[in-house]
Amino acid sequence: MSAGETPAPGRESELAEALASTRARMAAAVTDAGREPAGVRLVVVTKNFPRSDLDALVRLGVRDVGENKEQELTAKMGEAPLPEDVRVHFIGQLQSRKSGAVARVADVVHSVDRVKLVGALARGAEAAGRRLTVLLQVSLDGDPQRGGALPADVPALADAVASAGLTLGGVMAVAPLGEEPRAAFARLREVSERLRVDHPGAVEISAGMSGDLEAAIHEGATLLRVGTAILGSRPSHR
């Protein structure tokens, strides 16, 4: 164990079991969708859970972990280094004054939804000597409160990311409330296809959480962001 408190007895086997059943759900959906297993990666969202859980997941073979708050991300990453091959994903809403701090520790930022964030991310990554991959968060319901760029604003945002020296990885979305997720993810897939005309390397589609990962896999998701199904219900604070 690299740092932090010792996990409660049984926690690691609980996580192993939940991870196995999530991987089984993924495998079934991948088969159903006629896709290749290697085309879908699992990002385990460890927000609101301690670093000891993250370390246990890494021991269990998880290589992509996600956080949604800058402060929690920075604190957890400050505890001890992660193995070189673990990728850190930032999936939460970004504030421009916190973007530099995120860029210094994250490998992938999923939630870039306005040009204003791009400069700070690029400067943070450069200062840390890191290559940062950026996904464009797309709003699938047009509600600005929930984050995400409108599909019509994606091309300009993509160009801003690419010309800032960041790696444009693709798109991300959260399924809107009150809509069948598969229909919403189908719109994300169209946004992705249009984006790839000008940016052929932007192949990632980050979609699908605990409740809707099958729908996302059917609509081409390459990155799933799963928390609750693996770690359990989030404690509100600890």
Ligand X SMILES: *Cc1c(COP(=O)(O)O)cnc(C)c1O
Would you tell me which residues interact with ligand X (CB under 6 A)? 45, 47, 68, 91-92, 174, 209-211, 225-229
State the nearest-atom distance from the C-beta of 96 to ligand X, in Å.
18
Residue with smaller CB distance to ligand X, 94 or 226: 226
Residue with smaller CB distance to ligand X, 161 or 223: 223
State the nearest-atom distance from the C-beta of 92 to ligand X, in Å.
6
State the nearest-atom distance from the C-beta of 111 to ligand X, in Å.
7
CA distance 185 to 205: 9
Contact 157, 113 (CB under 8 A): yes
CA distance 105 to 165: 17
CA distance 46 to 4: 15
Residue with smaller CB distance to ligand X, 40 or 229: 229
Contact 152, 184 (CB under 8 A): no
State the nearest-atom distance from the C-beta of 39 to ligand X, in Å.
19
Amino acid at 102: V
Residue with smaller CB distance to ligand X, 66 or 151: 66
Handedness of CA 238, 22, 171, 126 (dihedral sign): positive
Residue with smallest beta-carbon separation from ligand X: 227
Residue 157: which of 121, 123, 184, 131 has the closest Cα? 121
Residue with smaller CB distance to ligand X, 126 or 214: 214
Residue 181: which of 221, 147, 215, 205 has the closest Cα? 215
